[in-house]
Amino acid sequence: MQIKTLRRWNNAIHRDVGYLCVGMTLIYAISGIVLNHFKSGDLVHPDYAKSYKEVIVPLPEDGKVTQTYVFSVLDRLGERDHYKSHVLGTKSLEIFLSMGSVYIDLSNGSARVEKKTPLYVIREFNLLHYNNIKKLYTWFSDLYAVALIFLAITGMFVLKGKNAILKRGAWLTLIGILLPALFLLYYM
Amino acid sequence: MTGKLLFSIGMMALILSACNMGSRGLDPGNAIKVTVASFEKQAAVIVEKTVVIEGTVLHTCKHGGKRLFLVDGNDSVSVEVTAGKDIPKFDEKLIGSRLRVLGVLKEEKIDEKYLNEWENEVKKPLENHAAGVHTGAQGHEDQGTQDKLDQINSLREDLKKSGKDHLSFYSIEADKFEEIKK
C-alpha cells in the first residue's frame, strides 16, 4: 500500500474515532479538573457545593435533647421542613436536613449550619470517571482508553510537510513527553 | 444525527440505572439480623455470614462514596458499611437517612505488619486514602499526617494490651440497601 493511501486511511479513521471520543473526553476532562481540585483541597466535596454558617442556638433547658428541642432549633433556623433525623454525640448534636446539617456543640450552643447543593451532571461525570458503575462500563471505558492510544498514534501521522512528525511535530511530541517526566523527577 | 442521539440516550440510561442500583428489592431471606448496638459483640462469630442491619447514616466517604457509617440514636457506636460490587456508590444525600442494609460481615485483621505498612504510607508525600482504619468520625477524612500517626500509635497500644497478635475490625460489605421511609 502506498504512503498516500495509508495516510488517507489514517486520517479518516483518526477523524471518525476522534468524533466518537468527544463525549467521553469531555466527561473525563471536566470531571478530572473537579477531582484534581478536590484532591488538592480546593473543593470540599466533588459532587456537592457546600456553604457554612456559624450561629449560636439556645441549649436545651433541662440539658436533655428531645424532639421538641430539635424542632425548636430548626424553627429558629427556618429549616424545620427539611428535617430528616438527628444523632446525639457525647457533647454534640447533629441534625440532618434534606440538603445539609446542623452541628451543635452542646457545651456552648455554637452551631454550624451546612447547606449543600448537588453538582448535577458533574456528579454523574465523577461517577463515570471513578468507574463506580463497573460491569459493562469497565469494558466501555477500556475501549475509550484504547481509542485514545489509537488517536495519539494516528494523530502523529495526520500531517505531512514542515509540521510532520519528523519535523516540527517531533519537537512538540518530545516536549509533551518530557513535561510529565520532569514533574515525576522533581516531585518523586 | 440519529446515531449520536441514540448514543446520548444510551449513556444517560446507563448512568440513571447505575444511580438506582442497590436500592431496590431488598429481601433479607435467611440473613442474620444484627443491630448497631450489638454489632461488635455479635460480629466475631458471624464473619462471612449474610446479615441485615438497620441504622441512620452518619457519614459517607467523599472519596468515591465507597463506604458509609451507620449509627442508632447516638454516635457512640457506629458500623462501617462498604459498597459491594453491585453498588456504584453511597451518595452523600443518604446522610441522615435510615437504611436497611443486606450484606456480608467482613473482618479486617490489623497486626504489627499492617501498622508498619500503614505508617510508611502515611509518611509518604502522596496520600493513600485506602490505607488505615476508617472511623466515620467528623473530619476523619481530613486527618493530617500527625493525626494518622497518633491513630497508628494508639492502635499499637491497643494491640499490646489485647495480648493477641492482631486486632479485629468488623464491617459489612453491602449487597443491597434500601431507605426506610418514616
In chain A, what are the domain boundaries?
A: 3-42+121-187, 48-118
Using a CB-CB cut-off of 8 Å, the residues of chain A touching B138 are 103
**Average pLDDT of chain B?**
83
Which structural domains are found in chain B, ordered by start?
A: 2-179 (2.40.50.140)
What confidence tens digit (pLDDT) does each residue in A126-175 have? 999 998 888 899 999 999 999 999 999 999 999 999 999 999 999 999 99
Across the interface, whether the CB atoms of B89 and A132 are under 8 A apart is answered yes
What confidence tens digit (pLDDT) does each residue in B8-49 have? 556 555 555 544 444 456 888 899 999 999 999 999 999 999
Average pLDDT over every residue of B69-87:
93
Q: Alpha carbon of B4 to those of A21, A22, A31, B149: distances in Å?
A: 12, 11, 21, 52
A87 touches chain B (CB under 8 A): yes
Q: What is the pLDDT of residue B64?
A: 81
Cross-strand partners of B27: none
Q: How many other C-beta atoms lie within 10 A of the C-beta of residue A15?
A: 12
What confidence tier does A29 reach under pLDDT thresholds 50, 70, 90? very high
| pTM of the predicted structure, to 2 decimals | 0.76
What is the four-CA torsion angle of B45, B47, B52, B58, rounded to 10 degrees? 100
| Of A101, A103, A124, Cβ closest to residue B15 | A124
What confidence tens digit (pLDDT) does each residue in B38-62 have? 999 999 999 999 999 999 999 999 8
Using a CB-CB cut-off of 8 Å, the residues of chain A touching B22 are none
Strand, helix or coil at B169? strand
Across the interface, whether the CB atoms of B62 and A97 are under 8 A apart is answered no
- The complex's ipTM? 0.77
Q: What is the pLDDT of residue B134?
A: 64
Calculate how close chain B gets to A47, using CA atoms only, in Å.
8
Q: What is the pLDDT of residue B145?
A: 82
Across the interface, whether the CB atoms of A94 and B7 are under 8 A apart is answered no
